[in-house]
Structure 1
Amino acid sequence: MENTGALKGLRVVEMGQLLAGPFAGQLLGDMGADIIKVEPPGKGDPLRIWGQGEKKVCWEVVARNKRSVSANMRVPEGQKLVRELIRHADIVIENFRPGTMEKWGLDPAKLLEEQPGLIISRMSGYGQTGPYSTRAGFGGIGEAMGGWRYIVGEPDRAPSRMGVSIGDTLTATYGVMGILAALHVRDTTGKGQIIDAALYESVLQITESLVSEYDSSGFIRQRTGSILPGIAPSNVYYCSDGEYMIGANADPLWKRLSAAMGKPELGDDPRYATHIARGENQTELDEMIGAWTKNYTVEEMDNLMTEYSIPAGRVYRAPEMLADPHFQAREAIVEVETETHGKLKMQSTFPKLSATPSSIRRPAPSKVGQHNAEIYAELLGLDADAIAKMEEEGIV
């Protein structure tokens, strides 16, 4: 497939594993950048065997649009090899514990001295500075420290997780945002820079006014299950054959929902007519709506909410996504011919750019170091004998 992406012509060296670094590479690769993923020889990135279900296919999504080389970063020869690759790159992504790159002779500050236009995105649990910087930090730990885990779940139970590695992917997204901003600066000044994206700070960034609420009034948000206190009605309700989400928490929407329920008088009822009143009577309001929705199927409810122009929708799983005509019309899910699993459906590239659309141009590499010969020859001028010798010595 032709590369029409906005980042066509940029080369990225992706270093790191599980999951922030690789997801950042996926985002940049989808947008057209040439992603050279550096993996340790042997088993490679643990993402190769991650995922749920009988077949582990997480790798097929995260490693699309990438070429794989192997390099043993624990030996000087492997470190030298990667240093040479970086000399041919515009961007470096890494998500090791702070100090690791320096230990390998790849201190980003020194790399920047040698290549003033280089952009280096560093993703870690706690950031590159501060008293916790050298601690190990996974996504779940960042979610806990950033305030997310405490407020997710039912109030009478321990904090819940999202079901996906949201801390890692948020950090990757902010890391990519930093890269795009740094590219603009480089276009105007010719100079690159180092981006420091911490897991806990990425989570903190999306917690809205959580800290400010405590600072201004001592209020601490708590776990509230499926609702947001004071915002009503906005909840998941049970139909006769499944779950359905309704969000009618604005005054005009509530009046329309009241009419849809066959009780238009509730739209002006003092108990529910205003945002404040509905929040004060949230529990009884949800119970009333829930008693009504269970008399309808999901499809019937969906038709009714569409008729009355009320924001609402099914609670989707993968089967519903694949069957939905809107997903199909927008090609939100595409089929990719993978090297390991054959044809595999996965999420497409987002967001959609009108002039420089992103794309999935190559499947995830099935083997560690699959592109050693191609890349080491193309960029470093190494011949087959030199590469074979490095393989014998455990360098690649």
Structure 2
Amino acid sequence: MSTQLHEGPLRGLRVIDLATVFAGPSAARRLADFGADVIKVERTGGGDGARHLGESDGDDAYYWRLVGRNKRPIELDLKQEQGLEVLLRLVRTADVLIENFRPGALERLGLDPESVLLVENPGLVILRVTGFGQDGPYSSRAGFGTIAEAMSTLAYTTGQADGPPTLPPVALADEITGALSAFAILAAIRHRDLTGEGQVIDATLLDSMLDVVGPGAAIAHRTGVSDQRIGSRLWFSAPRNVYECSDGWICMSGSADSVAKRILNVVGGDALQNDPRFATNADRIANVDALDALISTWTSTHTWRDAVQILADAGAAAGPVYSAEQLIADEHVIARGSLAMVNNPDGDGELLQSAPTPRLSRTPGAVRHAGLSRGASTEDVLSELGYTEREISAMSDAGAIGPLTARTG
């Protein structure tokens, strides 16, 4: 429905992104990467919280440059009647609306999904992202990704056996929720295209984490035993760990028996490959301390590059443990363009970001620009909705929309 027909398989799809920080905006960013016209609606006076997290590129954070990329940002005061009317005009033209307010907040703004939004636009797909869902005993709690990562058992099972539970250093729950939500949106759009019916998607950070942490809950339910922390090992496969080399670290995985035996052959030749302690996966798990000690002795005599190359030549699964500096210099990452320089008109020059993934052979995604400044597209979007320059100026003076910029995105 958008007049901004970008390239990509989702061109013509208009998305209103009302969400803040990561999970909801991550879903919208993925749609934008594949051609959707994403209108990023931010509050006047401060904008999305992602603009202010961590190190900055110009006036906005690197996080914003990523999660806000390919979007057209506008500022609205939804507590003012004029600001709300602008949003409703957008709703009438949109395919998708994404929000992550606490349950009930959208309704208090006069934007109840069933009685308002789906009446204004019966084909609208509405994604509601929260920590715990629209119902249930915890629905009113603040729900950041950190809480979901802890409650999902991820933190409990992460870390060394003699150390504390460990949280991931990235917005893992948010990004997983964003990816799953983008999938759910497209499933709902498919239903809409077949039936004309829009619907509401209830996505939660906790449920998304439960989808990816494996069968631990099923095992505990059946046996009464919970998985414990074992560092970088796995309960069900060996070898699997990080190993120190003479100048860095590598990882190995022997989840397939044939691959595990290749590792054994590299490390100790026929003698190790035929050692009854390591004959089967169950044997290797039972004797994992001895196995890891043998592998560590071997890796300690090699540089990480040599160790990875020797193992790769043998058909074993191994790779380096990279820092960010090492990652951006990796020849494979460079050759595939997995990280790419992107247009960054409101920052301090071109910016390195992850390329859209997965790759589509005929209609790949693209990064048109990194996240833009607050309100960069307000005038353009309101003009497309039929507002005159005088009306736009008056709304800005009244504070219903943000200050007008000299350049529109």
TM bin (shorter chain)? over 0.9
SS of 2:278's equivalent?
A: coil
Q: 1:36 aligns with which of 19, 35, 39?
A: 39
**1:245 Cα deviation after fit:** 0.7
Q: 1:69 aligns with which of 70, 74, 77?
A: 74
Task: Write the letter of the residue equivalent to 2:6.
Answer: N
Equivalent position of 2:14 in the other structure: 11
Mapped contact 1:230–1:280 kept (Cα < 8 A): no
Equivalent position of 2:157 in the other structure: 151
Mapped contact 1:126–1:198 kept (Cα < 8 A): yes
Task: Write the letter of the residue equivalent to 1:153.
Answer: G
Task: Write the letter of the residue equivalent to 1:289.
Answer: I
Equivalent position of 1:20 in the other structure: 23
Q: 1:340 aligns with which of 339, 347, 350?
A: 347
**1:190 Cα deviation after fit:** 1.4
Mapped contact 2:5–2:11 kept (Cα < 8 A): no
TM-score (norm 2): 0.93
**1:243 Cα deviation after fit:** 0.3
Alpha-carbon distance in structure 2 between the residues aligned to 1:156 and 1:7 = 49
1:203 aligns with 2:209: yes
TM-score (norm 1): 0.96
Structure 1 segment 240-259 matched on structure 2, within 5 A: 240-259=246-265
Alpha-carbon distance in structure 2 between the residues aligned to 1:363 and 1:209 = 38
Q: 2:285 aligns with which of 279, 284, 296?
A: 279
Task: Write the letter of the residue equivalent to 1:384.
Answer: E
Alpha-carbon distance in structure 2 between the residues aligned to 1:362 and 1:171 = 23
Which shifted more, 242-251 or 231-240?
Answer: 242-251
1:371 aligns with 2:377: yes
Alpha-carbon distance in structure 1 between the residues aligned to 2:277 and 2:318 = 23
**1:57 Cα deviation after fit:** 1.0
Equivalent position of 2:144 in the other structure: 138
Matched residue count: 394
Gaps of 5+ in 2: 402-409
Q: 1:353 aligns with which of 356, 360, 368?
A: 360
Mapped contact 2:267–2:294 kept (Cα < 8 A): no
Alpha-carbon distance in structure 2 between the residues aligned to 1:234 and 1:131 = 39
Deviations 1:161-184 (A, max 9, x none): 211111111111121111010111
Task: Write the letter of the residue equivalent to 2:393.
Answer: A
Pair 1:7–1:57, CA change in 2 (3 A): same
Alpha-carbon distance in structure 1 between the residues aligned to 2:208 and 2:263 = 37
**1:318 Cα deviation after fit:** 1.8
Mapped contact 1:10–1:90 kept (Cα < 8 A): yes
**1:71 Cα deviation after fit:** 0.4
Alpha-carbon distance in structure 2 between the residues aligned to 1:225 and 1:324 = 26
Alpha-carbon distance in structure 2 between the residues aligned to 1:145 and 1:92 = 28
Mapped contact 2:102–2:140 kept (Cα < 8 A): yes
Gaps of 5+ in 1: none
Equivalent position of 1:87 in the other structure: 92
Deviations 1:95-136 (A, max 9, x none): 111111101111111211332111011100110111211211
Identity among equivalent positions (%) equals 39
Mapped contact 1:251–1:273 kept (Cα < 8 A): no
SS of 1:35's equivalent?
A: strand
Task: Write the letter of the residue equivalent to 1:123.
Answer: V
Equivalent position of 1:178 in the other structure: 184
Pair 1:389–1:19, CA change in 2 (3 A): same
Q: 2:63 aligns with which of 58, 61, 64?
A: 58
**1:77 Cα deviation after fit:** 2.6
Alpha-carbon distance in structure 1 between the residues aligned to 2:57 and 2:399 = 32
Alpha-carbon distance in structure 2 between the residues aligned to 1:254 and 1:141 = 36
Mapped contact 1:123–1:172 kept (Cα < 8 A): no
Question: What root-mean-square deviation, in Å, do the aligned CA atoms of Structure 1 and Structure 2 show?
Answer: 1.7
SS of 1:137's equivalent?
A: coil
Alpha-carbon distance in structure 2 between the residues aligned to 1:92 and 1:219 = 42
Q: 1:330 aligns with which of 327, 336, 348?
A: 336
Equivalent position of 1:385 in the other structure: 390
Deviations 1:249-282 (A, max 9, x none): 4332233222212432111211111111100011
Alpha-carbon distance in structure 2 between the residues aligned to 1:73 and 1:16 = 13
